[in-house]
Structure 1
Amino acid sequence: MILQETALNSLKGVYIDPKCQSAHDVISQDTVYTFMLEMIHLNYILEKPVIDDLCKLSSVEGGKFLKDFLSIIQKNIGAHVKYEPMYPNFPQQVMNASDVELVLNAILHYWSFGAWRPVYIKEKRVELDEKNPLEKLKLISLDDLREYFITLINSKTGIPVIYDEFIREGLNLGWFEDYKAKFPEIPFRVTSCKLAVECLKQGKSIDYFVKTTTDVLRIMAVYSGQPPELDKVVKFKSMRRKERRVLIQNLERVISVEDVKRHTSIWIRAFHCLHVGEYGGKVNEIASRFRNENNVATKNTALCKAIEASDIDTAVKILKNLPSMFARYLDKLLRDSQHDQETLLEFSNIAAGVESKILLQALGHFKGNNKVEQKTVFAKSKLILIEKKENQKVLANSVAVKVVDTIRKALVEKYKLLNHFNKDSKVYITKEAEGILLPMQLNTGSNSNKRSIARGSRLLPNEADLDKNIIRFFVYWVGRDIDLSGVFLAEDLETTSYINYTNLREGYAVHSGDITSAPNGASEFIDIDITKALADGFRYVEMSVRVFSGPNFVEHEECFAGYMMRQEAQAGEIFEPSTVRTKMDLVCETRDINPFMFDLVTKELIWLDIPSHPKVFGPNNVNVNINQIKETLKASLELPLLKVNMRELLDLHVEAGSATIVDDPKDANFVVGLGDGDLDLYDFATINSKWI
C-alpha cells in the first residue's frame, strides 16, 4: 500500500504491482470502467497507459487492488467516513433557526454530556452542478519510485514524517545501495540518522551515516522513539550490548568536545545509557570531563567570548575558517562592527564556501532587514516572537543591500555548477512561484498532508474556483470534544470576529453546530460567504481547530480537517468529495492547530500548518486565545518579507545559466508549474535535492 500511496501523492500517478497482473485470466472491462467512473467522481482521470495496465489485472487480485486504491484516494480527501453534523440541513437550517431553538438544543446536548442530539428530517438537496478540476494520473513504475526514494533521501532539508514508512520500504527493497553508489553522504543529518536506526536494528553497518558526534546522539534519540531534533529532554531506551558497541566504535571515530558541549545535558544521559566506562578510550575520557568539570572549555570558547565582548576583529579571524558559521553570525557581526565594510569584505571572500541552504536563509533574513518589528521563529510546536533588544544597533539598509548582493553573487556562482539552464534555455515560470516560499522549513513532524508547502506560502485559486463564493471548512474526529472555528481579521490585523460554538452565525458565516462527544465519529462545518465577509470589512479568515477537552490530536483515533470550494451553499451534500481542495490529518502533539487562512480579496490560500499551545487558563477556544491567534496570523503574513520565494530562487538559476524567461509556456523549453511542468512547485523533494 505504501508504494501506491507514494505514487499517488508524490508522483501523481498509479503504481500497479506486476504480481497483481495476469497474461490470461484478467479482470472484466466493466469492473475497470466502473472504477474509472468512481475516480472521476473524486476528480481524478486516468491516462491511457494506466487504463491499459489496469485491464491486465488478474481476476483474483484485480478487484482487491482497485478497492484498495480507491480507499487511498477516498482517505486522501476525507470521503471514507460518514458526515453527520448537528444540523443535517446546514447551512440554511442554522440561518433560519430561532435563537431559542439553537440555544435550547445546545443546552440539552451539553447536559447530556454529548449523548443527546436534536432529530431532524434530512431534506432533499439540490443536485450539485459545479465545475471542478480533474487531476490526471499517469502510470508509475517501480523505477520511478526508486528514483523518488533517492531524490527524497538527497533532500537538503527535513522530510515530513509521512514519508518514514516509504523510506523504510525503500531500505528493505535495497534502494539505498543505489543511493550510496551515487552520493558520498546524506545531506540532511536528521534523515541520515533515521536510516541509521533502521540499519542498526537490522544489524547492518552504520559507518556511512555517522559523520559527527551529534549524529550518534540523534541515532540514539530516534532509536528511543524521541524526536531527532534534540529540542527537548531525551529519555533513552536500553540498548543491546551489540548495539552499544557499534555506537561507541563510531563515536570514537568522530567525537568532538565542541559537539558534546552543544547538548551537554543530553550527552550526560547518553553516556550513561551507553555504559561508556565499560569501553574506555577517548569517549570515556570526554564523558568524565563533562561529568566532573562545570564548564568544559572548547575551541569555540574564544569565539563565544569574542562575540559576547563585541570583539569583532577576533571573531572574524576565527570565522574565516568556518564559512557557514560566519554566515549565521553575519547579522550580529555587522551590527556590532565599527568597520562593517571590512567585515562584509571578509565574508565575501569566503561566501563561496558557505552551504547554499544557509546562504538562502541568510538572503531571506537580510532582504527583510528592518521590515518587521520582531523576528518570528516557528518552532516545532509553538510560535516564538523575538523582540529587538533595547539599544540594539539597527543595521543600515544600505549595508543590508550590499549583503544581499554578495549572497546573490555567491549563489549564482554555485548554481553555475548545477547547470540546470544554459543560454539556449527558454524558461516559463508560473505566477504562483512568487507566492510559494522555499520548502526548507516544512512542518516535518506534526501533520499528514499530501502537499508539503512552506508556511506563509500563498496559493492562487484554480480557474474553476475563481467564481465560487463559498469556502466551507470541515473537521471530522473520533473521540471527545474538538471544536472548529473561523477567525476573521480586518485589513488592520486588529479588528477581529469569530464563528464557533459560542457564535454559530453572522451575516457572512455560519457554523453547523457544536458536538461535544464523538465515540463513533462526528463532524463540524463552517461556511464563509466571501462577498458578505468583505462587505463587513474583513480581509482574512483563518481556520482554527482546538481540542476543548480530551487528549492531544495524535492520541485521537482519527482527526482531520480541510476545506471545500462551493458555488451554492445549499447545493449538493454537505460533504462533496469533488469540491474538497485540501484535507489534512491532524496528528500533532498539541491541542490546537492553525491549518491555513484565506485572503478574501485575492482568494489566495495562505498555508500555515502551525500547531501551538493554548493559554493555560480558561476554556481552550478562540475567544480566550484570540490575541495569540492574531500574533500567529500577523507573523505568518510577514513571512514572505523574511524568506526567499521560488521565483527568486529560479531567477538565480536563470542568471547562472544566462537563460531567457518567456511569458508563454508555449514558447518555453522548460516549464515551472504548480502541479505540472518540468519542475513542479509542489515537488519539495526535487527542489531541496537538486535546486537548493
Structure 2
Amino acid sequence: MESLVIARRLRVPVGAVPAGPTPGWGEIAARQLDAALLSVGFACSPALLERLSGLRGETVLDLGVRVLAAVRELVGDHVQHNAYFIDFPENVPDTLEFWAGLLREALLDVVVAERVQPATVNLLTLPGYGRYQHGYADLLAAHAELVPLAGDRVTVLDLGGSLEEEARELYFSLAGSEAPLAEEDLAVLRALAGFCADEPERVPVRENRAIVNEVRLAAGRPLLVDTVTDVLRLACGVSGGDVTLSAPTRFRSFRRAERRVLLQALDAVATPAKLGDVPRHREQWKRLGERLHPHEYPRLPRAAHVFEVARGVRRAASLDGRVEAALSAGRTGDALALLENTPGALLRRLDHLLRTGHSASAVLDAAEQAATGVSGRVLLSLREHLQNRLAPAAGRVFVNRHGRAWAAPDARAPLGEQVLARAVAMLDEEITRRLPDPGELILDPGVLDVALPLSGKAVVPGLGMLPRGSLSPVDGELLRFFVHWRQAAQRTDYDLSALMLDADYGNPEHISWTNYGNDFAEYSGDLTSAKDGASEFINVRLADATRPIIIPQVFIFTGEGFDEAAEAFFGYMTRDAEQEGRPFEPRTVRMKSDLRGAGRVALPFVVLRDDDSRWWVKWLHLYLKGYPHFNQVEGHRVTASLLVRSIVERDHLRVRHLADLLRAKNSTAGHTTYIGLQAPADLPEGARVYTPATLHELIPA
C-alpha cells in the first residue's frame, strides 16, 4: 500500500513526528536518501526533508529503502538494461554485413555448418544471434558515467500524511472518478476498498460501483444498485471475474445469505423498462441463474423475470432496439420521444439524429432539455466529437476498452455550421455551469495541451503518462526509446521498431531488426529470448532527422503476449548530445509504463516535428490485433499510418478549453485552484491542486 501511494501520487506517507527531542541521526539519513533518489531522477521536497530529519536515523533508512525501491520500479531502473551491441549507440554495424559475418563464422564451425541450410538461412541457428554476448558489468565498463545536466528529469516527492490518510484520499479519488478506469486502476481500487474503513458517498462509474459493492456485500451493508446490470457486475466481481463484463465469468457458488441479498437487489430494480438490458448479457445471466436459484424465492418475482428474459421465456425489448426500429422506419420523432426519458442515450445519438432529415431545431431543443440530466463526461465527449465535425476527417478511429484500434473512412454527411455552433454553445454553457468556482486560478502552461481524461481504460498508469491526444514537448537532442521484457514460461521475442514518415504520412523508412540504422537513428540489436530479461533501444538524433513523423512500435514476434509475460514495459529517454552514459539512464527517463492487452502490436505515441522545428510527443495508447506470430514493422505500415494520422489530425478536447471556461466564471471564492504538471511548493494552504494523476477530478459531475 505504501508503494502504491508513492507511485500513484508521488507522496511519501510519513505521518506525524513523535514529540520530544530528535533522537539519532535523522537529518544525515534524510540527506543520504535525497542523494540516492537524485541518482534515479527524484528528489525530496523541502517539507519531506524537514519531516524525515525529525525521525530516527534507523527509521529513515528503513523508509528510504522502500521509497527508493518504489521509484526505481516506477522509472524502470529495477532491472538491468543490457544492450546487444556493447558500444550502442556507437559502432552499430550495417545489418547485412552483420548477418553475413555471423553466417561466415557459422560456416567455419563444422558442427554448426551441418545445421545451416544454404537455401534458407535461419538467423536463430547462427551462434551469437539474438543472445547477449557480454555481461552487464562489461556494458558498464564500456560506457562513461552520465554527465549530469540541468535538463535531466527531477521528479519531486512530496510529504504525505499517514498511510491511512493517503490511501483514503487515493481511494476516494479513484472511486469518485467520472471517467472509466484502466484495468490496473480497478485492481488498485479493489485493494484500497479492502484497506480503507470509510466509503465514498458518490460512485458514478458502474465498474467502480461494483467493486465498492463487493465490500458492502461482505460487510452486510446495503448495495449501490439502480440497474439489473449493476447486480451482474457485482456477481462477476465477487467471483473473481471481470466487472466490465467484456469477458465471461465462471461464477462461484454463493452462500445462501449472498444469494438472498443479490436477488433482493435484483428484485428492487428489475422494472419492465430495465429488463431490456438483460439480452445484452444473456449468456452470463443464464450462468448466474444456475448459481442464485431464483425459484427458491417466490416472494421476489421480479428477480425471476430477469432470468426468464435471459432464457427467452419472457420478451423484453431494449430501448436501443426500439429506437433503431423507429429510425429505420423514418420515424425520427418517435425515436426522439423514446430517447427523452434517457438523456444520455439521446446525446450519444445526437449526430445521427441531426443527419436523419428531421427538424434540426427540434432535435437540438430535445438535446438542450437532456443536457441537464447527463454526466459531465458525456457533455465533454460530445463537445469533442462535434468540434471535429467542422471538417471532413482523414478517417474514423474506433478504440475499444483494451486499446485495440481500427480505422475506417469517414462516410458521414456533414453537419451545418449553424447547427454545430448552436450545439457547441449549448454544451459549453452547461459545462461552465457545472464547473466549480476556481477562485484564484493558477495555470502551468505545460498542462494546457494535455487532453482531458474522458476515458482512462486504455491508459496504463506509469511515469509521465498522459491521456490519448495529449501533446508533450520533447526537450533534448537525443531521443531514445526502450523496451524491456522477461518471459514467463516460453521463449518470447519482442521487437522494438520505429516507422518514419514524411509530412504526408508517406515515403516510409524504418528502424528495426531488419534495418539497424540510417543517417539519424540506430538500433541496439535484436534479442530473441528473455529468460532473464532483455532490453532493446532505438536512438534518434533529432537534429539530423529527415522525417517529421516517428512512430515507435513494439511487436510480438513470437511467444507470450504483453499480459502473459512475467514483465513487459516501454518508455523513452531524452538527452543532450554531450551526455554519454549507459544505454539506460533513469534520470533521463521521461515516460515509462507497462505493456498490456490482447493486441500483438503496441503504439504508445507518435513523435512529431512542427513548423518551428520543435518536437512533440502525441499520445496514442493503441494496440493492433496483429498476427499470431512474426509481426514486424513492414507488415503493419499502412494500418499504423492511417491510425496515427486519424488521431494526430483529430482536435482533442484539452485542459486549455476547461481553463477558458473556468476563467469565464465570475469567481467570488477566496481559495486558489492550481492546474499543472506538478504542484509547486509555495501554493497557499487549502489550494485545490489538479495534476495529471488527479486530472479526472476536474471533470464535472
Shorter-chain TM band: 0.7 to 0.9
**What is the aligned partner in structure 1 of residue 653 from structure 2?**
644
How far did 1:22 drift? 10
Give the Cα–Cα distance (whole angstroms) in 1 for the partners of residues 444 and 269 of structure 2.
46
Give the Cα–Cα distance (whole angstroms) in 1 for the partners of residues 304 and 281 of structure 2.
17
Judged with a 3 Å threshold, the aligned counterparts in structure 2 of structure 1 residues 337 and 659 are, in CA distance, closer, same or farther, namely farther
Judged with a 3 Å threshold, the aligned counterparts in structure 2 of structure 1 residues 157 and 299 are, in CA distance, closer, same or farther, namely closer
1:601-612 paired onto structure 2 within 5 Å: 601=610, 602-612=614-624
Paired residue secondary structure (2:219): coil
Paired residue secondary structure (1:93): coil
Judged with a 3 Å threshold, the aligned counterparts in structure 2 of structure 1 residues 292 and 523 are, in CA distance, closer, same or farther, namely closer
Matched, 1:440 2:454: yes
> Out of 516, 524, 537, which is 1:504 matched to?
516
**What is the aligned partner in structure 2 of residue 245 from structure 1?**
260
How far did 1:30 drift? 3.9
User: Which residue identity lines up with residue 35 of structure 1 in the other structure?
Assistant: L
**What is the aligned partner in structure 1 of residue 101 from structure 2?**
104
Structure 1 residues not aligned, in runs of 5+: 661-667
How far did 1:165 drift? 5.5
User: Which residue identity lines up with residue 64 of structure 2 in the other structure?
Assistant: L
> Out of 581, 586, 590, which is 1:577 matched to?
586
User: Which residue identity lines up with residue 572 of structure 1 in the other structure?
Assistant: G
Q: Would you say the 8 A contact 2:11–2:158 is kept in 1?
A: yes
**What is the aligned partner in structure 1 of residue 275 from structure 2?**
257
Paired residue secondary structure (1:94): coil
Q: CA RMSD in A?
A: 3.1
**What is the aligned partner in structure 2 of residue 229 from structure 1?**
244
Matched residues, percent identical?
23
Q: Would you say the 8 A contact 1:290–1:296 is kept in 2?
A: no
1:305-384 paired onto structure 2 within 5 Å: 305-369=325-389, 370-381=391-402, 382-384=404-406
**What is the aligned partner in structure 1 of residue 643 from structure 2?**
632
Judged with a 3 Å threshold, the aligned counterparts in structure 2 of structure 1 residues 223 and 489 are, in CA distance, closer, same or farther, namely farther
Paired residue secondary structure (2:540): strand
> Out of 183, 193, 200, which is 1:171 matched to?
193
Judged with a 3 Å threshold, the aligned counterparts in structure 2 of structure 1 residues 169 and 606 are, in CA distance, closer, same or farther, namely same
How big is each residue's C-alpha offset from its partner over 1:559-597, in whole Å with a ceiling of 9 and x where there is no partner? 211111011377111111111111112233333211222
How far did 1:157 drift? 1.1
Give the Cα–Cα distance (whole angstroms) in 1 for the partners of residues 392 and 234 of structure 2.
40
**What is the aligned partner in structure 2 of residue 194 from structure 1?**
211
How far did 1:192 drift? 1.0
Matched, 1:492 2:504: yes
**What is the aligned partner in structure 1 of residue 570 from structure 2?**
561
How far did 1:221 drift? 2.4
Q: Would you say the 8 A contact 2:493–2:557 is kept in 1?
A: yes
Q: Would you say the 8 A contact 1:126–1:572 is kept in 2?
A: yes
How far did 1:124 drift? 4.1
Paired residue secondary structure (1:348): helix
Judged with a 3 Å threshold, the aligned counterparts in structure 2 of structure 1 residues 484 and 398 are, in CA distance, closer, same or farther, namely same
How far did 1:119 drift? 4.9
How far did 1:449 drift? 1.4
Q: Would you say the 8 A contact 2:393–2:646 is kept in 1?
A: no
Give the Cα–Cα distance (whole angstroms) in 1 for the partners of residues 352 and 321 of structure 2.
17
Give the Cα–Cα distance (whole angstroms) in 2 for the partners of residues 586 and 220 of structure 1.
29
User: Which residue identity lines up with residue 253 of structure 1 in the other structure?
Assistant: A
How big is each residue's C-alpha offset from its partner over 1:212-247, in whole Å with a ceiling of 9 and x where there is no partner? 211111122233333322234444344334322221
Judged with a 3 Å threshold, the aligned counterparts in structure 2 of structure 1 residues 38 and 344 are, in CA distance, closer, same or farther, namely same
Q: TM (normalized to structure 2)? A: 0.86
Give the Cα–Cα distance (whole angstroms) in 2 for the partners of residues 509 and 85 of structure 1.
16
Q: TM (normalized to structure 1)? A: 0.87
**What is the aligned partner in structure 2 of residue 515 from structure 1?**
527
Q: Would you say the 8 A contact 1:448–1:586 is kept in 2?
A: no
How far did 1:682 drift? 3.5
How far did 1:475 drift? 1.2
How far did 1:175 drift? 4.1
> Out of 285, 290, 293, which is 1:272 matched to?
290
Matched, 1:218 2:233: yes
Matched, 1:470 2:478: yes
**What is the aligned partner in structure 1 of residue 114 from structure 2?**
none
Q: Would you say the 8 A contact 2:2–2:13 is kept in 1?
A: yes
Give the Cα–Cα distance (whole angstroms) in 1 for the partners of residues 96 and 322 of structure 2.
70
Judged with a 3 Å threshold, the aligned counterparts in structure 2 of structure 1 residues 298 and 350 are, in CA distance, closer, same or farther, namely closer
Give the Cα–Cα distance (whole angstroms) in 2 for the partners of residues 252 and 485 of structure 1.
54
Judged with a 3 Å threshold, the aligned counterparts in structure 2 of structure 1 residues 304 and 22 are, in CA distance, closer, same or farther, namely farther
**What is the aligned partner in structure 2 of residue 208 from structure 1?**
223
> Out of 13, 16, 23, which is 1:15 matched to?
13
Q: Would you say the 8 A contact 2:194–2:215 is kept in 1?
A: no
Judged with a 3 Å threshold, the aligned counterparts in structure 2 of structure 1 residues 163 and 379 are, in CA distance, closer, same or farther, namely closer
Judged with a 3 Å threshold, the aligned counterparts in structure 2 of structure 1 residues 548 and 22 are, in CA distance, closer, same or farther, namely farther
How far did 1:295 drift? 5.4
Give the Cα–Cα distance (whole angstroms) in 1 for the partners of residues 245 and 166 of structure 2.
34
How big is each residue's C-alpha offset from its partner over 1:622-652, in whole Å with a ceiling of 9 and x where there is no partner? 111222211221222133x2x3211112222
Judged with a 3 Å threshold, the aligned counterparts in structure 2 of structure 1 residues 168 and 379 are, in CA distance, closer, same or farther, namely closer
Q: How many residues align?
A: 655
Structure 2 residues not aligned, in runs of 5+: 107-122, 681-686
User: Which residue identity lines up with residue 278 of structure 1 in the other structure?
Assistant: E
Judged with a 3 Å threshold, the aligned counterparts in structure 2 of structure 1 residues 167 and 290 are, in CA distance, closer, same or farther, namely closer
How big is each residue's C-alpha offset from its partner over 1:373-394, in whole Å with a ceiling of 9 and x where there is no partner? 43222112311335445xx543
**What is the aligned partner in structure 1 of residue 468 from structure 2?**
455
Give the Cα–Cα distance (whole angstroms) in 2 for the partners of residues 289 and 410 of structure 1.
38
Give the Cα–Cα distance (whole angstroms) in 1 for the partners of residues 418 and 63 of structure 2.
62
Q: Would you say the 8 A contact 1:226–1:235 is kept in 2?
A: yes
> Out of 88, 91, 94, which is 1:93 matched to?
91
How far did 1:357 drift? 1.6
